[in-house]
Structure formats: C-alpha cells, structure tokens
Amino acid sequence: MKKLILSGFMLFMFTNMFAQINKVVFDSIAQKEILTGECNREGLNLPLFSEYYLSEYSSYNPDLAVSAMISTYGHDYEIVIVMGSWCGDSKEQVPRFYKIMDSFDFPESNIRLLCVDKKKTAQNYEEEISDYNISFVPTFIFFRDGKELGRIVETPVESLEKDWLKIIEK
C-alpha cells in the first residue's frame, strides 16, 4: 500500500514539474519578463503584471444587462484565452473579460488561460497553440462539447459582452 501511495505521489510530482502554472520567463524579443504556458488569474496578479490587470479590471464597467443575458445561457461551455502578457490588447481585454465573467459568476473552472511569447508559442504547449491557429492575441475561443462556437480575436467587434453573447446564442 505504501509503495502504491509513494508511486502515485511521485507520478503527481513528476507531471507537475512540467506543468508549472504562471511561469515567468524572459522574452528576448519583447525584452522583458512575460507569463508563458498555462496561467490563471493569480499569474495576472503577480507584481510584474498586476498594475495593468488591477487598473483595467477596476476601471471597466460591464454592461450588466448584456451580462444578465449571457448568464441565461448557463455555464455548459468552456473558453480558452490565448494572450500575451506583453501585448497591449491583452492587457486591456483580458482584465475586462474577467470583470464580465465575475459580474454573473461564470465559473473560473470553465476558463483556460494560455500565455504566449511574441512568437505566439509557449514551451510544452506548441502543438495545442498551433491547433488553435492563433494569429493575434488575445484570442478568446468558445467551445461547447469540444466544438468551437466562435472566437473574439484581438479586440471585440462591438464589446466583449455583446460579442460573447452573439457567440453563445448560435
């Protein structure tokens, strides 16, 4: 039994060594430290990135009527966000997106945040990011049952809320 528990623990530690969340690296093209790979809101709140995140998050006022309409569609879909912590549009749109989702309690467990470098890659995520066919960041990709419903690329057409609603209404 002890061997089984020890083996399970070792497997857990080994897999997590390569799946570090909120990894910060120096990007030689951006000439600064950036987030890369799998990230979450805590990564956006790290001292290097929190100034833009907190500023944009606190100053944005979501359209609560549209947020309420989004909430009527439930939470049976997932959203993958591919962003660059070095990117002006990501610094603006991603905090706003989190503010919108907080306005109607969209579960954070339904969000996957991937951060890329200036080449739009991230070590250990190259194939996945390539499959998403990312040209510009941020890109918000909406999925239901593994099927892509739509995406918001770089900046919304109308607003994040209205574009989000149009995607899930399909």
* Predicted structure pTM score: 0.88
pLDDT of residue 18: 53
- Give yes or no for a contact between 23 and 85, defined as CB atoms under 8 angstroms apart: no
pLDDT tens, position by position, 48-62 = 999 999 999 999 999
Q: Of the ranges 4-8, 12-16, 26-30, which is most confident?
A: 26-30
Q: What distance in Å separates the CA atoms of residue 46 and residue 44, rounded to the nearest whole number?
A: 6
For residue 21 the two structure tokens come to 């969340």
Give the pLDDT band of residue 170 (cuts 50, 70, 90): confident
Which of helix, strand or coil describes residue 2? helix
9: pLDDT strictly greater than 70: no
pLDDT of residue 2: 42
pLDDT of residue 1: 41
- Residues paired with residue 79 on neighbouring β-strands, in sequence order: 111, 142
16: pLDDT strictly greater than 50: no
Q: Which H or E element spans position 77?
A: none
